[in-house]
Structure formats: structure tokens, C-alpha cells
Structure 1
Amino acid sequence: IGSRLCSELSSKEGGAVAITVVDLLWFGNHLKEGSYERLLKVDYEQLPVEFLAFFDVVILLAGHSSVKMCLGQIGPSFRNNVSRAVGLVEKLEKAQQHKRIKFIYASSSSVYGNADGSSPVDETYKIDDPNNYYDLSKLTIDLYTKMSSLEFYGLRFGTVCGASPNLRSDVMLNNMVCDALLKKEVRLYVSEIRRPVLGIRDLCRAMGTIIACKDDNRGIYNLASFNGTVEEYGLAVAKGLNVPVKRLSVLQVEKMTNVKLQSKQYDFAICSNLFCKTFGFKFVETVPSIVNELIHAYPHVHYETRNLRKSAL
């Protein structure tokens, strides 16, 4: 997300935002030249209050970024997704005494994983016990920020799909397009379940909208460009790339890298009306627009599967 976000926000269309990137570069440096002013290869946990007070907006994308990355990682995932984030919240509360600071961070719609999928859920949906450590960590940081004094924006992303300089090949549409291009087929298992998808271009536009807004609209917001079934997504990709659909057996699905593509637990859709009404925002991404963008970007990007036992910070 970060590599595309820097390119979009630093562009003239994105408001020509001056960006300082803080990243340990565990997955390499794939930032577009000219998309940032400074790159600090440090752990954000080390940033002092005085440094943070310099900025108008702080965006947190770092952490264990998938269910699989958190499997068997109860301690590391908690430290990465919760304790470090809470430490940043604490520092920002002190930094905001000197100036207004917006804190935007990546939550996840995965916290709704137990919803029954019958209708889209909004931010008022009562969340029961989380399914795993990833969902638990996202829900926990949401609760911490809501109790803080910060002007915070917790964004519960649908599955983020679309092209970026450092592209994740293990998420829904990205995974399907990669299979179609490399294996000449689209593979499906849990085809009947519903999932929300957030086009990365819409994500960047939403971030830019929050940054540009002069009002204090702090809160938790769902973000999804659209909802649909895995079958609908797979058939659309197969049609767009003129390849067949392969339906996987239980044994075949064990080799897949994306845990959610194997699971029937995450069968839900989300409603993003609150964000649209609050910010006057309109989502524009569609399955064809994301697929076409991925096809165009395919020869030029770095592909990354985030199932490592560490995460970029």
C-alpha cells in the first residue's frame, strides 16, 4: 500500500503532499523516485515526540499485515500490531499539544469475519470474539484509539487490490490475475462467500480526502469499493483474461498462500456509506478497472507474498 500511496499523494492530483517515509525496508525499497522527501530507515518506535510534532498527518501502515503472518506469532504480532501502535498513540497525544495532528491508520474489515454475510455491515455492528490474532490486534488498536484524545481515522479496509510498485500477489484479485497470467487459469475454492474489495486507487483517494479535509471527523470508517462473491470475482478475471476457471479440492487448497481464500469463515460484506456521507466521497473502482490496471502494471512491478515471519515497519 505504502509504495502506491506515496506516488499518489505526492502527485499534483493528490495534493503534492510532502512525505517522510519511515520504513525498515524488510521487503526492499520499491518507492518511486520523487514520491517522497525523506526516507528514514528506522523503527518508528524510536521516533521521539519532538520529531512527530513536526508533522500535520501521521499514517501508520506498518505491522503484521495478514492472518497468515500472525499464525503462531502471538507475541510478535501483538508487539507489532498493538503495543508499538499504542506507543505511537501515546507519543502523538503529547505531540498534539503543540499543533493539530491527524492520525490515520490501517484497521481491517476482517474484524467482521463472524458476520453472516446476509447484508452489508456498518461500523455499528457488534463484533463478537475475533477469529484469530490478526483480527484481535486490529480490533484492539481500534479500541485504544477510540479512547485516546487523538483526531484519529481508523480505516477498516476491504481486501486491498490493485497495482503498486511493491505489489502483493497473495490478495484476492491480485492473486487471481497473477494465476491467470502465469498459470493460464483462475483457481477457486470457497466461491460462494462474499468479500469486500477496496481498490488501491480508491484507498489513496480516501486518504487524500481525509488529509485535505479541514473538519475534525475522527472515527472508525469502513472502506470498500464494492462487495461480491469470490465466484463473481473469479469469473470476471477469467473473462477479462480469457482463461478457464479451475475449482480446487480440499487437498489442492492447502497449497494456497492466502488463508482467507481457503476459509469459509470470512463471509461478509461491508457498508461504506458513513465515509461517503461524511467526506462527500464516491468510490469509483470496479473489478474490470482493477484487473486492467494489474495487467498493465504486470511487467513493471515487484511482486511480494506477505507470508513471512516479519513485517515492514
Structure 2
Amino acid sequence: MSEKKLIKQGAESRIYIIDHLGQNIIQKERFPKKYRIEQLDKMITKQRMKAELKALSKCHNANIKVPIVYNSDFKTHSIFMEYFPNAITVKDAFNKFNIDNDKIGIERLGNILGHTIGKLHNNGIIHGDLTTSNFLIENYKYSENPNTISELITIDFGLSRFFDSSQNVFISSILEDKAVDLYVLERAFISTHSDLTDIMENVILKAYISEVDNNFGNIKKSNPNLLVDNILQTQLNTNLNDNESDISDDEIIINDKLNKSINYNTNKTASSFIFKKLAEVRLRGRKRTMVG
């Protein structure tokens, strides 16, 4: 490996560009946390690296666009992956569209974002840190020709979780994780794009519902052993005995702090159970219920 250039540092890792054999690639290097016990820090770092690698692999298998992984090194806590030189974050794209008053671009981007998150959840992948900074777009000036881009690049799966047929989990646990994923995005969106909050409720969440409800059957056919399929099928055929909330299935309140709401006629669709749980998460925040 040749000289590397630091381009970003977050709370968990540093991102470098490396010129490797004439090709620029990304090195994501997790650094030690001095405030943690060394053994604990090593264990957490290893777990998060494994989670990220597995999530990236699952996304590739599900045809969800993510960086290609070239190599990993657990000694240096590094993952070496594909670099997208012409990409910017969805956060920056929203801001640029907003400055340009490009409403078509904003709605198109929000729609693709909602569908992308729906694809992740349909395939049993919980991102864990959904913000507009963790999605990339390679050509943000695409609203002049909406057909030039049809997908986003999802990154940063260090906090991800996923469900498959080898795991024994409760239905409510999967719903909770999906709801918390959406809640994290919602709070991040309100904080980062405070003048675009209507896009969250009117575009992103509606696109998510469309993806989850309309395309889940395709996931079922292509991966019949996916645990999420069995769980959602159970949800669609039975009523969950969930007495934790008085909110009805027939009304989901979105963005109540902004005094705005959308009423969804749930009709026991796959998304209705997720949105019922999301309403509960909004009432209590990200904290999980401790019952039993």
C-alpha cells in the first residue's frame, strides 16, 4: 500500500484514500477508544468490523448498491473498499437541491432514499445508523433527466444487524429494529434538513411503504429461507398481542412535534406493523421497552 490521504474522521473510524497499484481505494480504519477497557474495546471493534463485512456481503447478494470490499485486516482494524470519486452524500445533495430550489431533484432523491431503506429492511438488514450522510449519490444533478440515476450507494454498516433463518428472534424484536432505524433517520433528517421535513413524511416514508408492501413478495420468491419472510407472513395472518400502546392500527401519527400528520389505512400490510411500532418508538424515544 502506498501513501494514504485522510479525507474524513468520525467518532469510530478514519477514512483514507489510498493509491493502490494505480487505483484509488478507501481504507476505513477503526481506532482504539482510550476510555474503554482495552479488551472490551478490541471485542467491540472486532464485532463491528464483522457486522459491517457481513452486511456489505448481504447487500451485494440482494443487489443493493454498496462499496465492493477488496480486503480486510483485523490487526489494523481496517476494511479496504471501493472508492466513488464522483459521489457526494445524500445530505449534501439535499442541501444543494434546496439551495437551487430544485423541487424535482429533492422529491426524486427522497423517493429513491425511501425505496433503498425499504430494500434493506425487506432483506432483513438493519442499518443501525440511518442518516443522509450514510448514503452516496454519484451524480446529484440528475433531476434534469430523472432516468440517469436509479439507486443510491449505502455506506457505514458498523452498527448494522441482520436476520436470517439461522437466528431465533421474536417478531417484536425485528419490528423494533426496523422502527428504530426509521426513527433515527427521522430525527437526523429533522435536525439536518429542518426546512425539508415535509419530504420525510410525504416522500421518503411513502416510498418506504411502497417498497416494503409491493416488493416484499419478490424477496420471498428469491430467498424463501429468509427469516423475515416467515415473520412478516405471520404478521399478515395474525394480530400481534401488543398491549404496550393505545395507538390504533388505523392511524399512524408522523412528525407530531411539527403538528403534521399522515393517516395510513394499514389494512394489516407488512409496513403497518412497522409503523405501529414506529409510533411507539416516537413516544418513548430509542429506549427499548423492558417487559417480563
TM-score by length of 2: 0.30
Which fold has the larger relative contact order, with Cα–Cα distance below 8 Å and residues 6 or more apart in sequence?
Answer: 1
Query: Greater helix percent: which structure?
Result: 2
Larger Rg: 2
TM-score by length of 1: 0.28
